[in-house]
Every structure is written in C-alpha cells, then in structure tokens.
Chains A and B, each alone.
Chain A
C-alpha cells in the first residue's frame, strides 16, 4: 500500500507484522533506525536532514509504544477500532493531510489516538540512538546468540537455500554465517573473548598464522556457538582442514604460532 509518513501505523513504521514478537520488533527497530541515521549510506543522498530527523522521531515513537506491552495493547485496540470504523476508507487519517499530521508531532495517530499521546510509560533507558548504541545497550552473550540476530528472518531463507555445502565447515562458510546474522568481527570477539585477529585468520583460513590446533578447536567452537550452530558439527570439520593443510605444508617447526600474537 502506498502510504506517506503520516499514514503509517507504528507497525508499518518499523516494518513488522501486527503480531510480531518482541525480538522481531527489536531487530526491526535496530535495522530501520540505522537506515535513517544522519550519515547512513541508505538515506543521506535522498532524504533531506530535517526529514530524516522526523523519521527518526517517528521510528523511536513506534518503538516506544510497541516495545511496551501495555502501550502496545492499548495501541492495538485503537487500530482495531479504526479498522472496524464504518469510515469508507477505514483510514483514521482520512481528511488529514500529511503536513497537518506532521505538525501534530510526527505521528499520524496524534489525533486519532489521543490516548497514545498521553503518558506513555517512560522508557527504562534512553532509547538507543543508533544501531551501535543498540548493540552496546544489549551486549551479545553467547547463551542468547540464537535470538540475538540483527537481520530479519527473510535472509535466513537465503541461507537455507544454500545449505548444500554438506558437513564441511570452511572459514568462508563461517564468515557467511556471521554476516547473515548481522555480526561484525568485533561483535564476535567481544562475545567470545577470542582475539579479532585470530577470528579473521579463521575466516581467511590462514592456517599457518593460527595457533596450535587445541586453540583453533576452542576458537571455532566458541564462534559456532555464538552463531547458534552446533559446535560439534563445525569444530571437527574445520580442525580437520587445518590439520590437513599443516600436514601438506611441513615447515620444519611445530605448527601454529605461539598464542598471544
């Protein structure tokens, strides 16, 4: 549906389905919010700064409401009431033009839903102002890695469609899995406590620059676990590649650099 800023409801602003789960809303918020940052690659060449600011406010407001169960439920009631209204267009903004709605505070619902303008429970923390802040606010922990992915699920289908690589786990495959989960090397390093340089070596399969196998196994296992992939599938395969490489290129000294780089 072709709708302008003022016509979008909070779900549409965050680009999530009406029944979206909290984690999906958080994920979507980080993604959409990041798109309208001042110097964000995607927005800055098309959207004037003042308009981008309006967007960010609108996105923050949507997140404040949808991330709060009570506010969300009240908001859902308003949406349902609006949908059920005999209004021919079923559009709570009918008759309100974009600029009016924008003046009304950047929310199309300013008038349609006065209840929502009223005291919203204050956000416990300041709303994260950027993707980086969002990451910082919720540090990755190994245990919750499976649900901490920053990218929408639709890319997972992209991944699954390519799961023809069988049981072999290579460095590039680890990197593909990482990118798909929206994680940078630094995120993995923070969460796993593995030196980022080693993580890069793992991905690039620089076997000669990696430490002894016992460390490699540990690194790969921690990495896999963070990605939500069974480490017992990944580590043996990767370590076998590493050992094979080292057998094939004997260097006259014990393989692997001393840890500590």
Chain B
C-alpha cells in the first residue's frame, strides 16, 4: 500500500497499519450532524468486538462527545481532552472499558468547556499514537462539519467511511465533506508554492481562473509542473472514501450509494467504494435510548443484520489484503476493486 504522497508540509503519519501489524484506523465521518456517524461507529466497533477483534473506539468530537453514552459508559473522567491539554501524554491510560467484551473507548468528554480542538501538530502526534494502541481496530468517530481537524482524522485513516442518508441536505453535506477532504489531501500532497496556491484558489468555487472541477485544477497544475501533476493524480488515486447509506427505506435509497459513487468518479475523478447500506429501523432509536449498540440490544433486528455485514466485510477485506501482502504482492490495497477490472485505456 502506498502511504500516499503526503508532502513535507503535511507530515501526516502514513498509512502504516498493515505493515507494522498495528491497528487499522477507520474514521467515520459524514459532514452533517445526525446522519448516524456515532451510530455506525459504535455498532461497527461492537460487531467487530463480538467477532473476536480487539477494538478501541475514539471520540474526537470534543465539543459534542457522546460515543461513551451510546455504549452505556458513564461520562469517563479520563478522555482525549487530557491528551489535547497535555495533561496526559500516554494515550493508553485514557482507554476505558465498555460493557462489551473486547471493546474499549477513549471518550471525548471534557471537564471544562472552551478547550479548542488540537492544532495540526498535536493531531499529527495523536494520530501517530493512535496507531500504536494495542488493538486490531481503532475506530475514530468524527465530529460534524469540515474543519481541518476533522479532515485530518479522515484522511489519515486506513479507511475513511462517509455516512449519508437519502436526504438532499445530507447528500449536499457529504459532497462538501468530500470536497474539503479532497482539497486538503491535495494541498498536503503538493510541494510547490505555485501549485499549492492553485489548489487554494480552486477551493474557492467562484475563483477567477475558471477552475471549477478537479479536472480543471489538474490541467492547471500540469501546466505549472508535470511532476506536481503526477503527485496530484497519485494523491487523488490514493484517496478512496467508503460510502455507507443510512436510513434506507426504498430500493431507490439503496441505489443512492451507486449514484454518489458515480458522481465521485465522474465529477471528482475519485474512486469511492460503496461499502453498504443500513435499513431504517426503529430498533436503532430504541437501542440509543437503551444506551446500547443495536447489534447488542437487538441483534436480530434488520439494522443489526446490515451493520454486522458491514463489519464483517471490513474484517474480511483486511484479512484478504493481509493475505495478499503475505504473498508479497505489489501494493495490496485494503479494498480490492469491487467491480470487474477495467482494461487500461
């Protein structure tokens, strides 16, 4: 796996999970609040733990911490806030147990309001330490919005999962999220001052250079420098968000995942993967009220079946990519291309 062409300026820790044998980092985001990010994170975490994996879920939403509650853990006194405030430098000591065997968490609760999100360098340090946690999986529950703090967690993960619901507001926010992640990744990948500036300009949709789409931007970057153009393409190709459509009610809702994937491909030039969907199910809200993941409180429910499948798919994909890596195959990606391979033309 290519660690991704992260420029010197970016210095985000590479995707080393596979090689080092450390945990695999899975970030769950979605831009809009209320689409089910925390729901998906706790349920994937719980389903993986039940499948025998060692899982640590991390709540990075310091302003709206609630992961612990979704798992029935009373507001822990130790949390990520201690690390951010430099009161505790050993992440492992912030990990607390949950009622679910195999699943532990680092909460996002904070004892006093007003603590800012960690700055970029602190985040880089945090991300490097997350990779050293004693677990098979580290699931990162992201806050809403597209702040750079959120983006860094999403970009550095081995897998970035984007949750959306079949509603115009959610879809719009999902694209805003993707666009923000995409441009941040590009900016970190560019090494030249001129090309960085181009990316910055492109982020403004009303820019005067007429750069509207990533393809316009690529053309401009290539004109400026062929090497940077190559970096650009590599950065785009290394970015592979995984989509989950939540609150599915109809077959059309199911198709939304494919449609968004198509738009990603055609409009952003991005290969997204449609990881799966979760049916709308009253059991989910009942589970939240019971402060339990639905896969634990209602294991037979429709939603649990879907969530368990997604968890299993992630575990299987990882096992497969390890197997490939073991055989010494070239650059195994965690997610094998889902569709039939296309001939290069």
Partner-B contacts on A (CB < 8 A) = 1-5, 8-9, 11-12, 15-20, 31-32, 34-35, 40-47, 55, 79, 82-83, 90, 97-98, 131, 150-152, 154-155, 157-158, 161-162, 165, 172-173, 175-176, 178-184, 187
Which residues 173-232 in B have Cβ within 8 Å of A in the complex? 175, 213-215, 218-219
Q: A45 touching B171 by the CB < 8 A rule?
A: yes
Q: A34 touching B255 by the CB < 8 A rule?
A: yes
A-chain residues with CB within 8 Å of residue B252 when the two chains form the complex: 131, 184
Q: B258 touching A2 by the CB < 8 A rule?
A: no
Question: Which chain A residue has the least Cβ–Cβ distance from B342?
Answer: A17
Q: B259 touching A35 by the CB < 8 A rule?
A: yes
Question: Which chain A residue has the least Cβ–Cβ distance from B169?
Answer: A45
Which residues 245-300 in B have Cβ within 8 Å of A in the complex? 248, 250-252, 254-256, 258-260, 262-263, 265-267, 269, 274, 276-277, 279
Given contacts A45-B175, A83-B345, A158-B276, contact A151 B255 (CB under 8 A): yes
Partner-A contacts on B (CB < 8 A) = 166-168, 171-172, 175, 213-215, 218-219, 233, 236-237, 248, 250-252, 254-256, 258-260, 262-263, 265-267, 269, 274, 276-277, 279, 301-302, 305-306, 308-309, 312-313, 316, 338-345
Give complex CA distance A85, B172 in Å. Answer: 42
Given contacts A31-B259, A45-B168, A179-B251, contact A162 B345 (CB under 8 A): no
Interface centre among A5, A18, A152, A179 (most CB of B within 10 A): A179
| CB-defined A-B contacts under 8 Å, sample of 20 | A1-B344, A3-B269, A4-B215, A11-B342, A12-B342, A17-B339, A18-B342, A31-B258, A41-B166, A42-B263, A55-B266, A151-B251, A154-B274, A154-B339, A158-B276, A172-B302, A172-B305, A176-B279, A179-B279, A184-B250
Given contacts A35-B263, A42-B262, contact A2 B305 (CB under 8 A): no
Among A16, A43, A131, A165, the residue within 8 A (CB) of B305 is A165
A-chain residues with CB within 8 Å of residue B308 when the two chains form the complex: 162
Q: B316 touching A41 by the CB < 8 A rule?
A: no
Question: Which chain A residue has the least Cβ–Cβ distance from B234?
Answer: A2
Give complex CA distance A158, B213 in Å. Answer: 32
The 4 closest A-B pairs by CB, nearest first: A42-B259, A35-B259, A17-B340, A4-B215
Among A9, A46, A151, A182, the residue within 8 A (CB) of B345 is A9
Question: Which chain B residue has the least Cβ–Cβ distance from A185?
Answer: B250
Given contacts A158-B276, A179-B279, contact A151 B254 (CB under 8 A): yes
Distance from B91 Cβ to chain A, minimum over Cβ atoms (Å): 33
Among A18, A44, A173, the residue within 8 A (CB) of B343 is A18
A-chain residues with CB within 8 Å of residue B214 when the two chains form the complex: 2
Give complex CA distance A8, B277 in Å. Answer: 29
Distance from B167 Cβ to chain A, minimum over Cβ atoms (Å): 8
Q: B342 touching A45 by the CB < 8 A rule?
A: no
Among B237, B269, B309, B340, the residue within 8 A (CB) of A4 is B269
B-chain residues with CB within 8 Å of residue A12 when the two chains form the complex: 342, 345
Q: B236 touching A2 by the CB < 8 A rule?
A: yes
A-chain residues with CB within 8 Å of residue B166 when the two chains form the complex: 41
A-chain residues with CB within 8 Å of residue B341 when the two chains form the complex: 17
Q: B345 touching A79 by the CB < 8 A rule?
A: yes
Question: Which chain B residue has the least Cβ–Cβ distance from A180?
Answer: B254
Distance from A62 Cβ to chain B, minimum over Cβ atoms (Å): 12
Among B175, B213, B309, B343, the residue within 8 A (CB) of A161 is B309
Q: B305 touching A179 by the CB < 8 A rule?
A: no
Q: B269 touching A2 by the CB < 8 A rule?
A: yes
A-chain residues with CB within 8 Å of residue B237 when the two chains form the complex: 1-2
Q: B267 touching A45 by the CB < 8 A rule?
A: no
A-chain residues with CB within 8 Å of residue B213 when the two chains form the complex: 4
Give complex CA distance A158, B342 in Å. Answer: 21
Distance from A129 Cβ to chain B, minimum over Cβ atoms (Å): 16
Among A5, A31, A150, A157, the residue within 8 A (CB) of B266 is A5
Question: Which chain A residue has the least Cβ–Cβ distance from B303?
Answer: A172
